[in-house]
Structure 1
Amino acid sequence: MRLIQYLDQNHLRVAVVESPDAVRPIAIDGGTYALARIAIDTGQPLTQVVEARLGEALTDYQQLIDEKRLLPPLTHPDPAHCLVTGTGLTHLGSADTRAAMHAKAQAAESELTDSMRMFKLGVEGGKPALGETGAQPEWFYKGDGSCVVPPEAALSVPAFAEDAGEEPELAGLYVIGDDGQPWRVGYAIGNEFSDHVTERFNYLWLAHSKLRACSFGPELLIGELPKHLEGTSRIVRSGEPLWEKPFLTGEANMAHSLANLEHHHFKYAGFRRPGDVHVHFFGTATLSFADGIQTQNGDRFEISLPEFGRPLRNPLRFEAGKATIEVKSL
């Protein structure tokens, strides 16, 4: 089962994807978040909560896309209560890309880079046995829900940015129960979107490079995630493909298990605040930046995984004028 959220006369709506062309609205106020809270509070499977509220009429999916009415498939009523985070160096092959970026900033490299050491930890201990704790992954913060851009909407590039590059990833979507228990609602295609030039200068600037917009959706996949997923990441410029590359994800292509990544995120009590939404990106090994691509204003990212229905598409919009931020004293 896959869900989308969209605007209908400025009201939040949620629907089941019936086909590539049609969605079936669900009779509920509050969207996917409200459905998840009912499932948590009543102990019912989310699919059962959805099926009990399905409407009769169908809505044209393409029309929602054309009219830019799509929303991220899970949102919190208050964006400040949505936390957007991620983990890096999780995919087989991701360390080669990262190490190559960092090696360019080093006069000589006779030993493993810190990135390769981190990756090695994951390969050796990222998939622990049930009940055991595995290696801690790299972790980063992107922002609260205000940094999330809907599918089809523009990813804004701040004027101070050095780069604007896509990161095609899976995102886990979660709601925290009233008792502090994290519940996974499902998964979505994500574009984690980062500033790779800033990161390449010095990996200690990774935190700065991640404080950017991002997007996920348009569809939320409920249920088990396939172990092996093959997708395509593409950049379109002036209506023509500029760059395209396949990417692999799913646990079969990862150094860490999803359970290990989730454990090391939610082990912090501050990330188990009742009622909060979490969007957690699981990493990638495929970047256009690694192939020398420099994006421009108006370029469009397209990330697709067949199991997730429609692709995630976002154009780029570069902001003009660097503003000096002055802090005033009271």
Structure 2
Amino acid sequence: MLLSQYRRQDGRIQVVARDGTEAYEVRTDLALYDLAMGCAETGTGLQERVMDLGLNGAVDLARLYEDGRLLPPLTHPDPAHLHLTGTGLTHLGSASTRAAMHAKAAQTTAEDETDSMRMFRMGVEGGKPADDGAGVQPEWFYKGTGAALAAPGAPLASPGFAEDGGEEPELAGLYVIGPDGTPFRLGFALANEFSDHVMERRNYLYLAHSKLRPAAVGPELRVGELPASVTGTSRIRRGDQVIFEAPFLSGEANMSHSIANLEHHHFKYDLFRQPGDVHVHMFGTATLSFAQGIRAEAGDVFEIEAPEFGLPLRNPLAHDPAPATAPRVAVQSL
């Protein structure tokens, strides 16, 4: 089952479900967040809850997309309680992509290898523990709150002081935290973990800065477990031309970490198990147009698709009109 949300004419959120080609409104005035929290409280499965509610008339998701009315599949009434986070160097091939981006050759000896290669090797060796124990920690980063979450079709805005704005085609897990602090995963969705790769390349210690950019998720949420292997396509459209197109692979068959291990190392922190919060956690990629010499421009459209996840995720690149050098932020004393 695929779930999505759109903004109704009266301003309320409408949940949509489809299992095949046709999409139908779910017979409820609740947003997906409220449905999920209710399931967390009662122990009801999300798909079961949707089917119990029943479906109304068919909706044209493509038209809603075109009209700019689709929302991320999961939001929070208070954006400050939605966390955007992710992990890197988790996919087979991601280390070579990172090395190419940094224009460094991978070394063969443990003494000489880069931190990126070392982190990747640690994941290959210990990212999929055979039992229920915890494996090695992945690279982890923070992107922001729900204020940085862009809807499908909405611009991904690069600030005026940014050095680059490039796509990262990924899959994301979408979660709510239950009343007792238990994380509940609703399912998975396409994500564009938009980043500043020029800044990151300048110095790897700028990685944290480079990730403080918007991200887009959706348009549809796949309920349930992640397929073992996912093959998608990442594109950049410039006007009528496709200037970049490459496959991206995900799913545990193409990863150096298990999903359970990545989830453990995120939710092991009490900070991320606060009742009522929403988490959008991105699992990494091995495909970057930047690593192949592409420099996205304002107006370019990033397009990420995989058949198992419904409609493709499309977002144009926009440049914030702020000056290239950020004006100094003056902090007032109380």
d(CA) in 2 for partners of 1:252, 1:55: 35
Report the Cα offset of residue 100 of structure 1.
2.6
* CA distance 1:44–1:306, shift in 2 (3 Å): same
1:105–1:201: 8 Å Cα contact kept in structure 2?
Answer: no
Report the Cα offset of residue 104 of structure 1.
4.9
Q: Give 1:266's aligned amino acid.
A: F
C-alpha RMSD over aligned residues:
1.6
For 1:59, the equivalent position in structure 2 comes to 59
Report the Cα offset of residue 176 of structure 1.
0.3
1:133 aligns with 2:134: yes
Deviates more, 1:284-293 or 1:237-246: 237-246
Matched ranges for 1:299-310 at <5 A? 299-310=300-311
d(CA) in 1 for partners of 2:183, 2:217: 20
Matched ranges for 1:152-171 at <5 A? 152-171=153-172
d(CA) in 1 for partners of 2:130, 2:191: 28
For 1:246, the equivalent position in structure 2 comes to 247
For 2:7, the equivalent position in structure 1 comes to 7
Deviates more, 1:11-20 or 1:218-227: 11-20
Q: Give 2:36's aligned amino acid.
A: A
d(CA) in 1 for partners of 2:160, 2:278: 29
Instruction: Please give the secondary structure, in 2, of the residue aligned with 1:208.
Output: helix
Q: Give 2:301's aligned amino acid.
A: R
Instruction: Please give the secondary structure, in 1, of the residue aligned with 2:332.
Output: coil
For 2:72, the equivalent position in structure 1 comes to 72
Matched ranges for 1:85-124 at <5 A? 85-104=85-104, 111-124=112-125
The normalised TM-score by structure 2 is 0.95
Instruction: Please give the secondary structure, in 2, of the residue aligned with 1:285.
Output: coil
d(CA) in 2 for partners of 1:285, 1:59: 35
1:38–1:49: 8 Å Cα contact kept in structure 2?
Answer: no
Q: Give 1:283's aligned amino acid.
A: G
Instruction: Please give the secondary structure, in 2, of the residue aligned with 1:100.
Output: helix
Q: Give 1:310's aligned amino acid.
A: L
For 2:261, the equivalent position in structure 1 comes to 260
Instruction: Please give the secondary structure, in 1, of the residue aligned with 2:263.
Output: helix
C-alpha distance after superposition, 1:175-207 (max 9, x if no partner): 000100000011000000100000001110000
The normalised TM-score by structure 1 is 0.96
2:235–2:303: 8 Å Cα contact kept in structure 1?
Answer: yes
d(CA) in 1 for partners of 2:306, 2:220: 11
For 1:328, the equivalent position in structure 2 comes to 332
Report the Cα offset of residue 55 of structure 1.
2.6
Deviates more, 1:81-90 or 1:315-324: 315-324
1:186 aligns with 2:190: no
1:152–1:315: 8 Å Cα contact kept in structure 2?
Answer: yes
2:26–2:56: 8 Å Cα contact kept in structure 1?
Answer: no
1:86–1:140: 8 Å Cα contact kept in structure 2?
Answer: yes
d(CA) in 1 for partners of 2:154, 2:213: 15
Instruction: Please give the secondary structure, in 1, of the residue aligned with 2:164.
Output: coil
d(CA) in 2 for partners of 1:144, 1:105: 35
d(CA) in 2 for partners of 1:131, 1:223: 20
Q: Give 1:227's aligned amino acid.
A: A
2:33–2:75: 8 Å Cα contact kept in structure 1?
Answer: yes
Report the Cα offset of residue 41 of structure 1.
1.3
2:101–2:290: 8 Å Cα contact kept in structure 1?
Answer: no
d(CA) in 2 for partners of 1:55, 1:36: 17
Report the Cα offset of residue 320 of structure 1.
1.9
C-alpha distance after superposition, 1:235-262 (max 9, x if no partner): 0001211110011110000000000000
For 2:33, the equivalent position in structure 1 comes to 33
2:8–2:14: 8 Å Cα contact kept in structure 1?
Answer: yes
Report the Cα offset of residue 62 of structure 1.
1.9
Q: Give 1:273's aligned amino acid.
A: Q
For 1:220, the equivalent position in structure 2 comes to 221
Q: Give 1:98's aligned amino acid.
A: R
Q: Give 2:39's aligned amino acid.
A: A
Report the Cα offset of residue 18 of structure 1.
4.6
C-alpha distance after superposition, 1:103-136 (max 9, x if no partner): 4599xx9810000000010000000022211000
1:94–1:286: 8 Å Cα contact kept in structure 2?
Answer: yes
1:105–1:200: 8 Å Cα contact kept in structure 2?
Answer: no
For 1:288, the equivalent position in structure 2 comes to 289
1:18–1:24: 8 Å Cα contact kept in structure 2?
Answer: no
d(CA) in 2 for partners of 1:144, 1:18: 31
